Structure 1
């Protein structure tokens, strides 16, 4: 019997993951455990930045009116999906990362740069290099919501759970404990190593995608299920 694959990220990312899975002929069940919503925010008085540092397309989708005053700044995007969202909103993309937002900073360390980072309330800490400065502003929240009974039903006999953030790992773990889901039957498949660094023990297995991209994560899940 083929293990079920469950994606728990919030919308609109969940729909994008499911659509990509369908194009690959992969059956993935979507059970969103997060609700993304915009936050009230304001730009700093000093807008002398060299670029926007964007680690999620949600910063573009939920940034709201203040984004219009940032259109003159080139975008340094974590990956292709985020870059496409920025371009679709009228931004010019200067660099597209391939290994997380830290790699974007590493790529730019030869030159002094001051970045405005538009991010979610839950985000990965970054290490700057000499001459780099980051001003961070939260523009959206990715709030956890209680899991429906269908999650326990889907994973009653085990399965593979796709994880896109460290917050997802923590929330899913807590929901497994609350609902009595046997984690020894669950395989975690994560977009990157930091996502599962606090996953704890007792899982059937933990696997990491070879690239921080949905396509790589889905390919990993398919291999696990073979």
Structure 2
């Protein structure tokens, strides 16, 4: 009898632990392997009078904005995704609009609602928008031992960002791991494209949320056609 297929979570903390917990709650075998660590950066906020609303495309932007955020805390928040919105509310901010697709769509909706001057509090590697930008954090690569990369053979890897997808592809190439031995679940088509071709299977989440990614991963574990065996 084959062992359960392991699902590997490579996103940074604290999202990594949250996804691992959700996988375990769903009865799925999971392994944590963050490829990046998020670190706060110093930044200078603009005059609040020049800002109609804050734009967050990642919960990390909320968590790592630091004390400089205080001067802007009265401004409403435009968030991409429910997790980002939840992080903003937990920080005491008022979320007025939550997008469920991508940054471009939520920016367009915010502008249509009258929020013309958006301030995007973002990571160094970020989704590009036409909002005013302040870089408040950076996700730095973590060194991954070769044997750990090789142990990805036979697993399903969750890809929460295009940058993580590209780094996974590079690590696999650097350590001579066959892409055909690894299946992927990507949060978006753009993220899947960043991983490149040749993987055992690539599934797209039905929505850019953890629950949708977990559902897609579960479907992969049940599909005999993937040919994945337990790792």
Matched ranges for 1:169-188 at <5 A: 169-188=165-184
After superposition, the C-alpha distances for 1:111-142 in whole angstroms (9 at most, x for unaligned) are 4411000000111223x5xxxxx101110001
Equivalent residues, number: 219
Gapped regions of structure 1 (runs ≥ 5): 129-133
Could you tell me whether the CA contact under 8 Å between 1:4 and 1:154 is conserved in 2? no
Gapped regions of structure 2 (runs ≥ 5): 223-231
Report the counterpart of residue 137 of structure 1 in structure 2.
134
Q: Pick one of 87, 90, 110 that aligns with 2:89.
A: 87
The question of 1:116 aligning with 2:113 is answered no
Cα deviation, residue 150, structure 1: 5.2
Q: Give the aligned CA root-mean-square deviation in angstroms.
A: 1.6
Aligned-partner Cα distance in 2 for 1:23–1:47: 45
Cα deviation, residue 151, structure 1: 2.7
After superposition, the C-alpha distances for 1:22-49 in whole angstroms (9 at most, x for unaligned) are 2211221111111110011111246421
Change (3 A) 1:103 1:222: same
Deviates more, 1:62-71 or 1:146-155: 146-155
The question of 1:74 aligning with 2:76 is answered yes
Could you tell me whether the CA contact under 8 Å between 1:184 and 1:203 is conserved in 2? yes
Matched ranges for 1:161-176 at <5 A: 161-176=157-172
Cα deviation, residue 56, structure 1: 0.7
Aligned-partner Cα distance in 1 for 2:20–2:7: 11
Higher helix fraction (1 or 2) = 2
Residue aligned with 1:146, SS:
coil
After superposition, the C-alpha distances for 1:67-109 in whole angstroms (9 at most, x for unaligned) are 1011110000111111111111111110111112222123234
Report the counterpart of residue 151 of structure 1 in structure 2.
148
Report the counterpart of residue 131 of structure 1 in structure 2.
none
Q: TM-score with structure 1 length normalisation?
A: 0.91
After superposition, the C-alpha distances for 1:189-220 in whole angstroms (9 at most, x for unaligned) are 11111112232222112211010000100110
The question of 1:99 aligning with 2:95 is answered no
